[in-house]
Structure 1
Amino acid sequence: MRTTFMGILAKPSALVFRTRLIIGSLLLMMLAAGLQTAFGQEADNLDEQVQAQTRKLSHLTSEFANGAENYEDVRQNLIQQRNQLQAVESDLEAELGETQSTLSRLGDPVRGEASDVTALRQTLEGKLQELDEALEQTRQNMDQVDRLEAEIADIRRSAFYEELTERRSLLFQPSVWGRATAAFVDNLNNLEQDLSEREVGRFGPDAGPLPVVILVLSLIVAVLIAIPARKWVNQRFVRPLTSAGYDSSLSVPIGLISTLLSSLPWLLSILLVSNALYYVGYLTPSLKLPVQSLASALAIVALIMACLRVFFSTSAPVAPFHFAESFKSRWLWTACLFATLTIGIDHAMRVEISVYGGAAALDTVQRGVATLILSACLLVIAHFWPRRAPGQPEDEEIPTVLRKEPLALSPWLRTLLVIIAFLSALGAVFGYAPFAHFILTRVFLLGGLLLSVLIIKSALDQIMRAIVERVFQSGEKTTEKSDLLEFWFGALISICLFLVAIPLALLLIGLDWESVVRLIDRSMTGIQIGNVSISPIQISIALLVFLALIAVTRLVQRVAERRVLQRLKVDTGVQNSLKTLIGYIGLLFAFFTGVSLLGFDLSNLAIIAGALSVGIGFGLQSIVNNFVSGLILLFERPIKVGDWIVTNSGEGIVKKISVRSTEIERFDRSSILVPNSELISSSVTNWTHKNRLGRVSVPIGVAYKEDPERILEILAKAVENIDGALSFPEPQVLFTGFGDSSLDFEMRFFISDVFDAIKARTAARVAIFKAFREGGVEIPFPQRDVHVQFAAGDLEAAISKKSNPE
């Protein structure tokens, strides 16, 4: 059948369908062509990168197998190779995920689908296979890099241990000093020749006057900064700061600021001269490393000298190094200064030997002399450092910013330092200078790091204490809160300083920066469990984020309670319900955020929820029942915080509605923890459910001889004299019945606050007593008839015995 144009117009739905089909086919063809081109280009680029890295890695492997001359160069190339492989691996994983997502959107093959779609599916499947192969090759290359780095590390470690344990010539042999002197003179000649060649090149007739002018001006400015400016800074800032003494609440931060101010002119002078030498082009490759090491050594010496001058002074003592005896303080200051100078000069000379070379005798003499000087300094420090008092307990050795005693050394630590000093000196003398030098320098470096950490911690503790004291005013409760806050902040400061000190300690021990970074990276990567990687740092970050979110939740609760809800005049029960609800929401958000930071997929929590449902059905049913009941109490609010309720467990005021139970404080100040499910399933009397209006009932009894109508009139007048009794609803006086020994009446009246019921009953009884006394009303008391039964003749015998006593 032929379809005319008018027929098509008569069927608009068919026209629309065909138009959409044509447009969709064209778009699908364009998408397929574009995806094929894009995937092809990206695949080629990634494959080329993988192949190039594989070839370079093969070259490095063969170079290593044939015995490389410089393993450090090979290691640096391997580090670069690793970085490139990690970048390619990330690109491959991203490309693989995108390809899998596109392939999943195409779905399974269907009969009669377009040829372009089939071609696109085949292209994606081929691309997926290529990406898998490239990713597998990249991971194999990374494994090869790890293996080569491990082998190089083993070789360097073996060489390092061999160098340390190698026994050399005796230190005081004349031949050793002769060879060392000759090598030192050769190094000085090489340095002089380098300087003269550079001087001719940069300051010759063809160079012009500009380099000379720049260098001379920089030297003049450096001298002016180092001497007059430093003297002015000390007089203007350092001395006024340190005059506050130990009793200052911010003594340690002030000491650190004084140290920085005192050493700043020297640091600026060194920086100015070194930059001037670099700017004029005076530093050749052979001169650059020695000059940099000398400048860094001078800067560290200047900083440590300023620190010693502040923290080891007796005129302005600063915690935690408070020295009362100036004699010991001078000896300690001198020993620390000599140790600092020795380590700085030793470092500069070792760099000079590594650049210009030198005989083993020069290295032996240099290390031996440095070891002897450091041994003497260590003995002086161990002898003159403050000792712990004989009766001082062990736990008082820990320094705090609140103590006025100095940081004392325990006897075992002092003995250990003395043994290390003597053994190092003997090792340096008898041929083990490298090992003795390594041990002793690490003792000083790690000791300096430990003292630096203690000083920084003391400074942060004092700053934190000053802030807390400004925030919290004096008082018992605020003091407890401030102490708790100081404890947690102190713990956080200690943890942060510990995490920062670990990499620094590893660097000081002798590890290079790349190895430290690798250790940190491995600690961050952690162990792999399936698709989830768990590491200590990751757990710490998740825990810190969780605690931070909990703290934010508490802050939001406090702000909502004090700043928002109170100003809106919201009911107290509603305020507590909203506060608790905010706490639940914040807790759930913190929990899910912490879990996601650990690397767990939140979608997998459905499996955990299914497993928990089984546990709930068996052992957790009661807990979940109480939790759900607590939510019902919060939303339905049959009871709320501050209500006066009566339950099967007791009577009292609701203090807190928690997850599992509700705390009720009885009137004797004892607390009852009632499960939430009991409050939902059992009947509860709530005196303050809607308001605090309450009725007070006072029972009264009078003698049978009294007129009931007269008593009703007296009670009706007495209720008007009760303070707090409301006139509406109207009070009632009732004749309730006939008792055993009295006519029973009851006075009923309402008060505005049911919590004053006891006071109102007391006032009512006082008013009734006064009214009855004025009206002559008799209040009866119970009367009892006692019947005594005796056997026949016993009563007469008892009476006769009492009347005729013997």
Structure 2
Amino acid sequence: MNPLRYLVALLLLATALPAIAQDEPKVATVAATLTKASTELQAIDDATPVARDDKARQALRDRAQAVQETAAEAVRTLTPEMALVQARVAELGAATPGVVEAPEIRQQRRLLAQSQSAIDSAIKRAKLIGIEAKQQIDDIGAAEAEELGQQLSENTGSPLSPTSWAAIVDHFPRDSARLKRFAETELRQFGQRFDRRAAIGLLIGVLAALVLLVPLRRWLHGVGRRYATNHAPGGRVRRSAYALWLVVIGTALPGFAALAIVASLRWGGLVSPAWSRFGAIFVGISFFAAFVSSLGGALLLRNQSTWRLLPIGDAAAQALRPYSWMAAALIFLGQLLIATNMLIGVSAPASSAANAVVALLHIVLLGAILVTLGRLRAAALPDPAKPARNTLLAIVATLVWLVLLVAFGAGLLGYVNFALKVATWLVWGAIVGATLYLMMTFTDDACRTLLSSGNRLGRSANSGFGVDNKTVDQIGVLLSAVMRLLLILLAAGAVMAPFGAGVGSAFELFGTVANGITVGQVTISPGAVLRSVAVLFVALAIMRGLQHWLVNSYLPTTAMDAGAQNSVTMVARYAGIIAAVLWSLGALGIGMEKLAVVLGALSVGIGFGLQAITQNFVSGLILLAERPVKIGDLVRIGNMEGDVKRINVRSTEIEVADRSTLIVPNSELITKTIQNMTLAAPIGRIQLQFSVPLEEDLDAVRAMLFAAFAEKHEVLDNPESKVFIDSIDAGRAKFNCFAYVASPRDAYPIRSELLFTLLRQFREAGIEVGTTATKMELVGPLPGSPVPDQNPDQNPDQNPDRNPGQNPDQNRA
């Protein structure tokens, strides 16, 4: 063996063995962690069938997610180690056939192979555990969705049925006895443990609650108002920050007041173990009810119209404010009643009756709110005979009414759980929507205020990093869009939270409705159709929101002109529509590979019957891309001249001088010659042509022209005005003058003003002005006129004695 090669092998062995030795404990540690994770996953799988309530399932879900994160961390840890081992194997190279390697080299190959095998096995095991954990999480969500479907489909008996009332009466003695025992347990605990120490603690808790609710709350209101007025940045962020401040203190102070009372009772030992859970529920419901009340107050602000976020009047705010109090009270009492029934363990008929009452109160509250909104909207119309068209509000109100009627009917038929779930979900959705509106308004105001060219942070970015003002404004708008998108996603998950583990569980519930029918390779089911329609509406709504954001928020902050902004908006619109349709078809189960057949069939129709439409569509795309004509250009097509107002994909709208609209197919703008007077140099040229007698002072005329041009500030200095004598004819000098204005649209009125001024000055100076003389020569006789008989000898043109400059009559004379 070559001594140099032997030395290199020893060096590799000396450096590889310690590294391999270091890898072994790390791999062993990860393997032990994966073993524990596998054991934990098995325990979760065993506990899933016996988990009956949401709390237990959520705990199992959290444990499964922890296992999934452990597996992912193991993969992240071992992947670099595998790369190192593979690099060492590559350095060592493949064994040469027929060559006997040194024992140290063979040992190194064996150790590296063992290490690579161990790490690879651990990575595969970690990935498998991660997949199993994900499947376990999906199984828990499916179990929740299945149980929710069973609860919603459970018929507990119609409230109108005598059987239901008879069951309530039969169970009333036992339910009342349980309630009595529950109350006596707390009274006994209170009587046994109440002493001076407990009384002092309770008194301190009540006083603390009163301080939090009355003086501290008023003082914090004033502090927030003064800070927003005197110290907060100017603009809309003052109002949204003040509204958010009202929600924070309006939620925290009543909640901490309830917590102070419960804590004082527990500190004195006045709460029995059976009532300890009731105290925790009481505190949580107090926080949420206070949040609902403060949210309504912050958005409505009855007595502070200038600080109000909602675009409504004082009358509407006064009319709607009591409903936020009613909603808070209904949520507090209704949830407290349901929780009390669960703690006591009342009978099923009594629990169903309580749920029916709570559901009915929710339905009545929502119906009253809808009626009030309808009356306010009708009162705000300027002309009741011509109602305003607001399709979105009308659709939402109609859908809510339909859902309320369905919930009310389901409750009467005995599906009380379904009615309660739907009614409370509508109230919950309204709360989430109001919270989303407040947070989106505050986020947009904060981002666009802090990251603006007029703010200190924007000026610092401009001076320190060289970021121009437009870029700073764009960053603020983009950051606001990203933050609001995250808020929308969180709100979507929060809205669907009552139906299980979030959005996924809800769609899984809808996915089990029917199997559907199969047409070719596509399976169409009612759930798939509804999902496709929902996806289409959501995608179109996102597209419209994006277009609205582009037009009103982002594009105004850029340096693009109106034409470029229109091009970006139109391209984004049609791209969004195409993406929405493709997304909807994908949700229906029709992928791109299946659309290829349909597109192939359409190509035949396009080739024969849709040539003009396709030509105009492609021409519209060319116009939007190359922009030979853009919004605001002054163009002339044939004998028509006007301003380009809108460029669509199929046609272009041009407003002519009489304010009518000329619809021009886009192919005309691409294939035919048009004159764009504002494309390259958007300046207008004024041309004046007239003649004066040669006896007049032509220099004076020229000076008067230049003076008239100079007096008009609309006339540009560059290009400079020009005055020419075009020709001399019939004893008159023909002037041809040119001046330039900023826009072709200004040329005609400025030309008229110049003519008025010059004509007045010429008349005062006694200068005769006329038009250019027109010379007309008749060649040959007029059609139909008799030809006179002439002697060739008397033809003047053939008379050699006539002077060529003389008149023929004079020559004859």
Q: What range is the shorter-chain TM-score in?
A: 0.5 to 0.7
Match in the other structure for 2:702: 719
- Residue from 172, 177, 184 that aligns with 2:179: 184
The residue type equivalent to 1:84 in the other structure is: A
Is 2:61 the partner of 1:79? yes
1:162–1:283 CA distance, 2 compared to 1 (3 A): farther
Match in the other structure for 1:224: 207
Match in the other structure for 1:604: none
- Residue from 502, 505, 510 that aligns with 1:516: 502
1:291–1:489 CA distance, 2 compared to 1 (3 A): same
Contact 1:82-1:142 at 8 Å conserved across structures: yes
Match in the other structure for 1:363: 347
Q: How does 1:692-711 map to 2 (within 5 A)?
A: 698=689, 700=691, 710=694
Match in the other structure for 1:452: 431
Match in the other structure for 1:557: 558
Cα deviation, residue 272, structure 1? 0.9
Is 2:330 the partner of 1:344? no
1:371–1:459 CA distance, 2 compared to 1 (3 A): same
Cα deviation, residue 224, structure 1? 3.3
Q: Distance in 1 between matches of 2:540 and 2:203?
A: 55
68-77 vs 27-36, which moves further = 68-77
1:138–1:411 CA distance, 2 compared to 1 (3 A): closer
Q: Distance in 1 between matches of 2:151 and 2:112?
A: 58
Q: Distance in 2 between matches of 1:229 and 1:59?
A: 46
Contact 1:32-1:120 at 8 Å conserved across structures: no
Contact 2:709-2:721 at 8 Å conserved across structures: no
Match in the other structure for 1:37: 21
Q: How does 1:614-763 map to 2 (within 5 A)?
A: 698=689, 700=691, 710=694, 714-722=697-705, 723-724=707-708, 734=725, 736=727, 742=730, 745-747=733-735, 751=739, 759=750, 762=755
Match in the other structure for 2:136: 145
Deviations 1:384-405 (A, max 9, x none): 774757998998798999x9xx
Deviations 1:705-732 (A, max 9, x none): xxxxx45x74343212212568999977
Q: Percent of pairs identical after alignment?
A: 12
1:131–1:161 CA distance, 2 compared to 1 (3 A): same
TM (norm. structure 1) is 0.53
Deviations 1:196-222 (A, max 9, x none): 88x4xxx8xxxxx9xx64x43442234
Q: Distance in 1 between matches of 2:683 and 2:153?
A: 88
User: Secondary structure of the residue that 2:704 maps to in structure 1?
Assistant: coil
The residue type equivalent to 2:336 in the other structure is: G
1:60–1:626 CA distance, 2 compared to 1 (3 A): closer
The residue type equivalent to 2:64 in the other structure is: R
What 5-or-longer segments of structure 1 have no aligned partner? 1-17, 204-208, 242-248, 354-361, 428-434, 471-487, 524-534, 559-574, 599-617, 634-638, 703-709, 793-806
Deviations 1:313-346 (A, max 9, x none): 999996657559x9xx89x988995785354233
1:623–1:57 CA distance, 2 compared to 1 (3 A): same
Match in the other structure for 2:523: none
Match in the other structure for 2:597: none
Deviations 1:599-651 (A, max 9, x none): xxxxxxxxxxxxxxxxxxx9999899889967xx9xxxxx9999999999999
Q: Distance in 1 between matches of 2:539 and 2:359?
A: 42
The alignment yields a C-alpha RMSD, in angstroms, of: 7.4
Q: Distance in 2 between matches of 1:266 and 1:145?
A: 40
Q: How does 1:409-488 map to 2 (within 5 A)?
A: 419=409, 423=412, 427=414, 436=416, 438-453=417-432
Contact 1:225-1:265 at 8 Å conserved across structures: no
Q: Distance in 2 between matches of 1:322 and 1:623?
A: 52
TM (norm. structure 2) is 0.53
- Residue from 125, 137, 153 that aligns with 1:134: 125
Cα deviation, residue 698, structure 1? 3.5
Contact 1:339-1:373 at 8 Å conserved across structures: no
Q: How does 1:192-211 map to 2 (within 5 A)?
A: 199=193
Contact 1:735-1:744 at 8 Å conserved across structures: no
Contact 2:190-2:271 at 8 Å conserved across structures: no
Cα deviation, residue 37, structure 1? 3.5
Cα deviation, residue 184, structure 1? 3.4
Q: Distance in 2 between matches of 1:334 and 1:757?
A: 67
Contact 1:60-1:74 at 8 Å conserved across structures: no
Cα deviation, residue 270, structure 1? 1.3
What 5-or-longer segments of structure 2 have no aligned partner? 225-235, 305-312, 379-383, 450-477, 510-533, 584-613, 711-716, 788-813
Q: How many residues align?
A: 626
99-108 vs 53-62, which moves further = 99-108
Cα deviation, residue 292, structure 1? 0.8
Cα deviation, residue 159, structure 1? 7.5
Match in the other structure for 1:91: 73
1:267–1:24 CA distance, 2 compared to 1 (3 A): same
Contact 2:433-2:491 at 8 Å conserved across structures: no
User: Secondary structure of the residue that 2:336 maps to in structure 1?
Assistant: helix
Q: Distance in 1 between matches of 2:9 and 2:549?
A: 54
The residue type equivalent to 1:94 in the other structure is: R
Q: Distance in 2 between matches of 1:31 and 1:542?
A: 59
Contact 1:252-1:455 at 8 Å conserved across structures: no
